[in-house]
Amino acid sequence: MERKKILDINDLDITFKTTAGKVHAIRGINLELYKGETVAIVGESGSGKSVTMRAAMGILASNAKVNSGEINFTYSHDDGITETVNILSKNKKWIRSHINGKRIAMIFQDPMTSLDPTMSIGKQIMEGMIWHYKTPKEEAYKKAVRLLQEVGITDAEARMKSYPHQLSGGMRQRVVIAIALACNPDLLICDEPTTALDVTIQAKILELIKKIQEERGISVIYITHDLGVVAKVADYVNVMYAGRIVEKGRIDEIFYDPRHPYTWGLLSAMPDLETDDDRLYTIPGSPPNLLHEVQGDAFAPRNAFALQIDEKLEPPMFKITDTHSAATWLLDPRAPKCEMPSELKHRIERMKAAAKKLKEGESAS
């Protein structure tokens, strides 16, 4: 089957004007997403992952300035005709009535703050349909009940009248998902959807989003810093650092064959259940302040593998395979041979062995 491109971000560059000066938050981002697939954007706070997605939604803060780039979004009308628009060239009003909530829906981190405490949840689910599609009230009501059932809320009819404070955290996030699905969006953006939830509920919410994605064939972007979540849901991974994508690739390429020192650091900083090293591998220091223009590679000061050139010149994306590329000078043919830290190497070998064992067990049974 041919893969249809649905979102294409080209060379996006954004600065924020603040009282302290200009913050160069996004420094040239390229990202694409195909229909029905899941992309995860991973990075620390301040790396620009949320800003990128807010730009795609057209909900940037008013002090943001887009210096260059385009965000091409392809969606299909009800009659099947597809249209591609550059979201950055449209005004707020147009985006509000054509994109927000209708074509691109977003699920935020904290369900308590994204729900209106003074409105019953039924009303909140119906709101979007009535506003965007002028759906008659009774039809909207029926659809809302169906949506609540779809996201796994029992006794949906009775729950329509509930208010957010009457629901538990996991239930609230299910309601938020129902609201997001109300207008049949083509793209769902999940901004840390499970960070505020307990592990037991986290798994259920992720499975729910996955199930809905398969049934409806929508595309999903996850913004997260939790590599466990990424491992569960993503097809492709983009690792962001200081406003740039430093490594991108298929999920197995990023987890089993990472090439960028920052990705190494991220993977080894998170202990898995087998980790019994005396010390956790850490990335020293903290992310750079983007108030000041970055000279060379932004990661160089924290990078134990930094080369001299890293201080002067920002590395380009080096291609490793058709899908996998990383922005580090270590991949230049002239660079000295450099291996990932041994702790991580052992861990990846262990993970591969576990995966192999699982596969063998499956084919045997």
When the beta carbons of 44 and 127 are compared against other proteins, the nearer one is: 44
270 in contact with other proteins (CB under 8 A): yes
Euclidean distance between CA atoms 290 and 25, whole angstroms = 6
The interface with other proteins within residues 242-261 (CB under 8 A) comprises 251-252, 255
228 in contact with other proteins (CB under 8 A): yes
Euclidean distance between CA atoms 109 and 194, whole angstroms = 7
Euclidean distance between CA atoms 135 and 150, whole angstroms = 19
Query: What is the smallest separation between the CB atom of 353 and other proteins, expressed in angstroms?
Result: 10
291 in contact with other proteins (CB under 8 A): no
Tokens linked to 231: 């491992």
296 in contact with other proteins (CB under 8 A): no
364 in contact with other proteins (CB under 8 A): no
- Provide the residue type at 116 as one letter: D
Using an 8 Å Cβ cutoff, are 190 and 220 in contact? yes
Q: Which stretch binds other proteins (CB under 8 A): 2-10, 102-110, 157-165, 269-277?
A: 269-277
Euclidean distance between CA atoms 31 and 219, whole angstroms = 14
113 in contact with other proteins (CB under 8 A): no
Contacts with other proteins by CB under 8 A: the residue count is 45
111: region left, alpha or beta (phi > 0 left; psi from -120 to 50 alpha) = alpha
267 in contact with other proteins (CB under 8 A): yes
Nearest 5°: CA angle at 265, between 340 and 290? 130
71 in contact with other proteins (CB under 8 A): no
165 in contact with other proteins (CB under 8 A): no
**Three-class DSSP category at 89:** helix
- By CB under 8 A, name the binding residues for other proteins: 44-45, 169, 198-204, 207, 225-232, 234, 251-252, 255, 265-267, 269-273, 275, 278-284, 286, 351, 354-355, 358-359
